[in-house]
Amino acid sequence: MLSEAEGYDLLRKYEIPVPEYQIVKNGEDAATAAEKMGCPVVMKIISPQIVHKSDAGGVMVGIGSKKAALGAFTRIIDNAKAYNAEAQIEGIMVEQQAEPGLELIIGGRTDPAFGKVITFGMGGTMVELMKDITLRILPVTDEEIRQMIHEINAYPLIAGYRGSKPRDEEGLVRIIQNVCRFFEENENVVEFDINPLRLYESGACAVDARVIVTDHVHKAERKEHPPVPLEYFTPRSIAVIGASQDSSKMGYAVMHNLLHFPGQLYPVNNKRPEIQGLKAYPTISAIPAPVDMAVITVPAVNVPSVVEECGAKGVSMVVIVTAGFKEMGPEGKALEDRVVQIAKGHGVRIIGPNCLGLIVPPRGIDTTYVHQSPKPGNIAFLSQSGAIINTVVDWSLAQNIGFSNVISVGNQCDLDFIDYLRYVEKDPKTKAIIMYIEQISDGKKFMEVVSEVAQSKPVIAIKSGSSRRGSAAASSHTGSLSGSYEVYMASVQEVRGHCGTHADRCIPCSTDACPPQALPPRQACGRHHKRRRLCRALL
Ligand code: ADP
Ligand code: MG
C-alpha cells in the first residue's frame, strides 16, 4: 500500500484535487507547518501497519493553532502506540483542512475475469453501512460515468435536495474521468479508494487516498477463438469410446442415450464384439467409415492416446466426458494441456473435459447420462454445472419445455462459453439462450460476444455464488463492496438492453414483497435492489 502522501502525489498528477500537505517528525515541525499552511489543519498518522487511521485515533481535524498542533502531535503518536504497539510510525502528515462537502467514494479494483473495475458511491466512514455504490468495468465512456452518478440512491444530494444548491456534477464527471485514466495508465495499481472525495458547489477535494500496488501484474487469460464450423455440432456419425455393456459404467449410460441418434453410431470397446445391440469396434481406427464426433469416457490417463487416434481418424470434434483433469490440480492440468496440444495438432476441437457433453434434441444427439433426454425446443442452455443440467432437464420434461441445445461446458479446455454462444447465435433452432455461469476467464471477450449475440437473441445469464462477497478483510472499501458477483452483474447489465420496453422493469428482490415497477432506461429503482432488474418478457 502506498502511503497517503504518495497517493496524493499520484492523484495530483491526474488533476484530482488533494490538500497541500507536509510530513513532520516532531511536534515543533508540526507547529511550524500548521502556521505556514494556515489553520485549521488536519493531522494524520503515517504508519504502514495502520490502514484505517481513524480507528487508531490517528486523525485529528480542526487543529486551530500552533499550540494545538504541538499537542496533537503527541496525542496522535500516543493513540497509535496504544492501538498497535508494534506499528512503525514514519511521521505525521499535516494537511490543509478541506471545507465540509458531500462525501463520496471513488474506488477501483481488479477482477480476475473482467480486469479493472471502477466504483462510485456515497463515501465517508459509513460506506459499508450505506452500500450505495455502483460500478463499471473499464474502459467507460463519459455517458457511463454520468449514468453511474445518476444511479446512486443519494443522487438527489448531488442534484440539489430540498432547497440545497446543486453540487458540481460536471466537475465530478471530470474527476471520475481522471481517476479512470489514473487507474488505466498505472498497470501496477490493483486497488484503490479515494474516500472521501468532498464535492462542493464548485470543485471537489480528495481527502484520503489508499492505493494498493503490485509487482506482479496479473493479466486476464486471453485465448484464441478460431471459428467452429456449425456442422461440428451436427455430426452424421458418432463413436462412443469406452462404450460399455455394464450398466454401472458411464460408457453404458452415454451409449444408451445415444441409441436414438438417427445417424451412424459406433461403440468402441476392446473387449466385446457387441454393445447394447450394436457391433462394437476394438479401436476407433478399426471403424470402416468416417466418424465426425467421438465421445470419450475412458479413464483420464488414456485420453491423450485416444485423442491422438481420433485425430488420425479425421474426427472433427471430441466430447471428453471423463473427469480428472485441471479440476484435480497441477498434474491434471498438465494432462489436460497435453490433450489440447494433441487435438490442436490434428485440428480436432474439444468439448469438456469433465463434462456431460452435448444434447441436441432436434437431431437426436445426447452424449450425456441424464435419465431421460429433453424434448426438442427453442432454448439453448449452456451450463458450467452438470448437476444443474440434470435438474433442469428433469424439470423441463414435467413442464413440457424443450431445448435446441443443452451443453455442459466442463473445463472448457478448448471450446468455451464464447464459442458456444457463437454457435447458438447461428443455430437456426435457437431462439433464446440461457447460461449458468460459475466463473469465466476472459470477461472482456465474454462481454463483447454476449453483446453481439444479444442483438439477435435474448441472453439470460445466471451466475452462481451470489452470496460470496469480496473478501471481508479487504483493506479497501472497494475490495469489500465490489465482489466478483457485483462485477458479473455489471457485465451483464452492460450488454443488456436489446428490449427497449421491458429491459428496465424492476423485479422485486425475493425478500421484499414489493410490486415490479417501470423504470426509465438504466435508472436504479431506489426502493428495491437495483441489480435485480431483468426483462420480464424474456423470463
Ligand atoms: P481513515 O484512514 O480513517 O479513512 P481519513 O484520512 O479518511 O482516515 O480521515 C478520516 C476523516 O477525516 C475523513 O473521512 C474526513 O471526513 C476527515 N478528513 C481527513 N482529511 C481531511 C482534510 N484534509 N480536510 C478535512 N477533513 C479531513
Ligand atoms: Mg478515509
Contact 391/280 with Cβ under 8 angstroms? no
Pocket residue to mutate for ligand 1, from 208, 475, 477, 480, most atoms within 8 A of Cβ: 208
- Is residue 414 in contact with ligand 1, taking CB distance under 6 Å? no
Q: Which ligand is nearest to the CA of 59?
A: 1
- Is residue 126 in contact with ligand 1, taking CB distance under 6 Å? no
Dist CA 500 CA 99 (whole Å): 43
Dist CA 290 CA 42 (whole Å): 80
DSSP class of 412 = -
Q: How many angstroms separate the alpha carbon of residue 160 from the centre of ligand 2?
A: 25
Dist CA 400 CA 174 (whole Å): 54
pLDDT, residue 484, reads 75
Cα 499 to chain centroid distance, Å, stands at: 23
pLDDT in tens, the chain (539 residues): 899 999 999 999 999 999 999 999 999 999 999 999 999 999 999 999 998 899 999 999 999 999 999 999 999 999 999 999 999 999 999 999 999 999 999 999 998 888 999 999 999 878 888 889 999 999 999 999 999 999 999 999 999 988 889 999 999 999 999 999 999 999 999 999 999 999 999 999 999 999 999 988 877 667 889 999 999 999 999 999 999 999 999 999 999 999 999 999 999 999 999 999 999 999 999 999 999 999 999 999 999 999 999 999 999 999 999 999 999 999 999 999 999 999 999 999 999 999 999 999 999 999 998 889 999 999 999 999 999 999 999 999 999 999 999 999 999 999 999 999 999 999 999 999 999 998 888 888 988 899 899 889 999 988 876 555 433 444 555 555 556 777 877 777 654 433 333 333 333 333 333 344 444 433 434 433 333 333 333 33
Dist CA 263 CA 266 (whole Å): 10
Q: Which atom of ligand 1 is nearest to the CA of 99?
A: 25
pLDDT, residue 476, reads 54
- Is residue 504 in contact with ligand 1, taking CB distance under 6 Å? no
pLDDT, residue 481, reads 57
Pocket residue to mutate for ligand 1, from 4, 21, 59, 480, most atoms within 8 A of Cβ: 59
Count other Cβ atoms within 10 Å, centred on residue 69: 28
pLDDT, residue 486, reads 78
Dist CA 111 CA 191 (whole Å): 10
Q: Which ligand is nearest to the CA of 95?
A: 1
In the numeric block, the cell 488420425 is attached to 312
Dist CA 138 CA 379 (whole Å): 32
Dist CA 535 CA 121 (whole Å): 25
pLDDT, residue 223, reads 85
Q: How many angstroms separate the alpha carbon of residue 207 from the centre of ligand 1?
A: 6
- Is residue 98 in contact with ligand 1, taking CB distance under 6 Å? yes
Give 137-143's long-range contacts (Cβ < 8 A, gap of 24+): 137/111, 137/443, 137/444, 137/447, 137/487, 137/490, 137/491, 137/494, 138/180, 138/183, 138/184, 139/180, 139/184, 140/180, 142/173, 142/177
Q: How many angstroms separate the alpha carbon of residue 122 from the centre of ligand 2?
A: 12
Question: Which uninterrupted H or E stretch holds 134?
Answer: strand 133-137
pTM of the entire structure? 0.77
Pocket residue to mutate for ligand 1, from 207, 211, 480, most atoms within 8 A of Cβ: 207
Dist CA 485 CA 487 (whole Å): 5
